[in-house]
Amino acid sequence: MANTELLIGVDLGGTNMRVGAVTEDGKVFHRLKLPTNVELGLQEVVEKLIKTIRQVIQEAVSNGDRIIGIGIGSPGIIDIKSGIIVSSPNFPQWKQVPLKQIIEERISIPTFLDNDANAFALGEKWLGAGKDVQSLVCLTLGTGVGGGIILGGHLWHGVNGMAAEIGHMTVVPDGLPCNCGNSGCLEMYASASSIVRRIVIALQAGESSAVTDYVNNDLTKITSDLVYHFALKGDSLAGKIMHETSIYLGIGIANLINLLNPEMILIGGGLTNAWDLIYPDMIQEVHKRAFEVPAKRVKIVRASLNDNAGIIGAAGIAHLNLKKLSKYIPS
C-alpha cells in the first residue's frame, strides 16, 4: 500500500485513546492504543493525543501514503460545527475545549470532531453490523451510555448537534442522581459503571455478595465484569443487579422502538461482554412494553467492529465532512 489517501480516526475514550489510519473502504492501519489517563489533566492528555496522532501519521507517510483528514470521536457534549468539547461527564475538568483548533494548529491537517457515540454509530453503519441498514439506533454501554441515531441513512445531530443523548433518557423518575443533573437516567442503570455503583450502594446498605470476599473487602476493586461473572456463578446480589440492568435497558430500548420505529438497535461497549446474560431479560422487557409490529421488525444486535469501531467511525466523520457525501448536519 502506497500513495493511498488515508484518514486518521481518533477514538478518545474515557479509559483509552485509540488512533489509527483508515482507508476509504475502512481498513485500519498503524493502530495505537494508550491509556487516556484523564487524571493527568487536559494539557497532558492533549499532548499525548498529539504525539500519538503524529506517530500514526509518520508511519503512514513513511509508507508513501497521504493523510487527508483527522476525525475525532470524543465523549460528552460536542459543538460539532466549531469542533469544541463543550463538556464531558468522563472528563469533568474539560469545559469548552477547542480540540479541532488545537489539533489543526499543531498538525495542519483538517480535523473534525463529533460525539464518540455518533462516531461509533457511523462506523457500524459504514462497515459493521449496521451495514446496508438505513435507520438504526446505536447504544454504547460503557463508562456512560452513549447514543447515535441514524435515520434515512443520515446521522441525526439535532439543531445543536446534541441529539441522541440516549443515556440521559429518564427511566426512573425518582431514581439515582446522574452527573448530568437529572435523576433516574438510563445511564444510571445500563452503563458498566452504574453496575459497580449500584452493587457498592447495596453492599454498603448491608446486602451481601461473594464479590466482597473476592476483592478482600476493597469495594473500589469491583468491576462490572466481576459482577457479571459472579452473577453467572449464581451470586444472588450480583444476579439482581444484572437483572435490573437488563430490565432498564429493555425499557429504554422499548421507548426507542415506540418513538423511532427503527430497522435496528445496535449495542456496543464493554457491557456487551455480558450479552448472553443480559439479552433474554432485556428482550422480554422490550416485547412487554413496545408495540408488537415495530418490536418484531427491529433487529436488536451487538456491534461487530469491536475495538476498531471507534477508530473507523471517527475516520468516517472526517470522510463525510471532506467528501460532503452526506448533508452532515441535516437540521
Which of 45/286 has CB closer to a second copy? 286
Which of 58/331 has CB closer to a second copy? 331
CB of 63 to a second copy, least distance (A): 40
Candidates 106-114, 118-126, 179-187, 218-226: pick the segment binding a second copy (CB under 8 A). Answer: 179-187
Contact indicator for 18, 35 with CB cutoff of 8 Å: no
What is the DSSP secondary structure assignment for residue 256, as one 8-state letter? H
Q: Give the number of residues in contact with a second copy, rule: CB under 8 A.
A: 52
Q: Is 300 in the site for a second copy (CB under 8 A)?
A: no
- On the 0-12 / 13-18 / 19+ scale of CB atoms within 10 A, 142 is buried
Which of 83/147 has CB closer to a second copy? 147
The site string for a second copy over 245-264 (x = CB under 8 A, - otherwise) reads --xx--x--xxx-xxxxxx-
Q: Is 297 in the site for a second copy (CB under 8 A)?
A: yes
Footprint (CB under 8 A) of a second copy, residues 35-64: none
Selection from 91, 94, 88 nearest residue 76 by Cα? 88
The site string for a second copy over 192-231 (x = CB under 8 A, - otherwise) reads ----------------------------------------
Which residue's entry shows cell 466523520? 317
CA distance 217 to 222: 10
* Neighbouring-strand partners of residue 151: 154
- Strand 77-79 and strand 299-302: the pairing is unpaired
Which of 60/254 has CB closer to a second copy? 254
Contacts 24+ apart (CB under 8 A), 163-169: 164/115, 164/117, 164/118, 164/121, 164/137, 166/117, 166/137, 166/139, 166/252, 166/256, 167/139, 167/191, 169/252, 169/255
Chain residues in the site for a second copy (CB under 8 A): 77, 86, 134-135, 147, 149, 151-152, 154, 156-166, 168-173, 180-182, 247-248, 251, 254-256, 258-263, 288-291, 293-294, 297-298, 327, 330-331
